[in-house]
Homo-oligomer: A and B are copies of this chain.
C-alpha cells in the first residue's frame, strides 16, 4: 500500500515560507553553509569571517533560529549555534513535489499530443 498522504503541492501542515525566507539572504546562506559542516560555532566565531557587526550576525542567527534551521546552545559565557537538518529536509520534499507536479503535467501533455 502506498503512503497515505496528499500529493498536491498546496497541501501543507507547517508553513514553509518562513524557511524559504530565512534562506533568502546571502549572509544567512553562508552562515548555514558554515554550520552544516557539522561543528557548532559561537557568535564571535561566526562574526570573524564576516564584514558585518556582531549584532548583525546575531540578528541573522535569530532569523535562522526562528525558522528552525539552527539551534541555540548557550554554554557559559558564549552561545553556540548548531545546524538542524529537519527544515531542509522539509524543503527538499516540497521542491520534489513541485518538480514532480511539473514533470507529471509535461508527461500528460506529451501523451495527449502523441495519443
Residues of B near A108 (CB, < 8 A) are 38
Residues of B near A37 (CB, < 8 A) are 9, 101, 105
Q: Is the CB of B83 within 8 A of A92?
A: no
Residues of B near A9 (CB, < 8 A) are 32-33, 36-37
Q: Is the CB of B38 within 8 A of A106?
A: yes
How many copies of this chain sit in the oligomeric assembly? Answer: 2
A25 within 8 A of B: yes
Known contacts A95-B88, A95-B92, A24 near B26 by CB under 8 Å: no
Within 8 A of B (CB), among A6-38: 8-10, 15-26, 29-30, 32-34, 36-38
A79 within 8 A of B: no
Q: Is the CB of A92 within 8 A of B102?
A: no
Task: Give 10 closest A-B pairs by Cβ, nearest first.
Answer: A38-B105, A21-B24, A20-B24, A20-B23, A9-B33, A10-B33, A24-B24, A17-B26, A36-B102, A92-B95
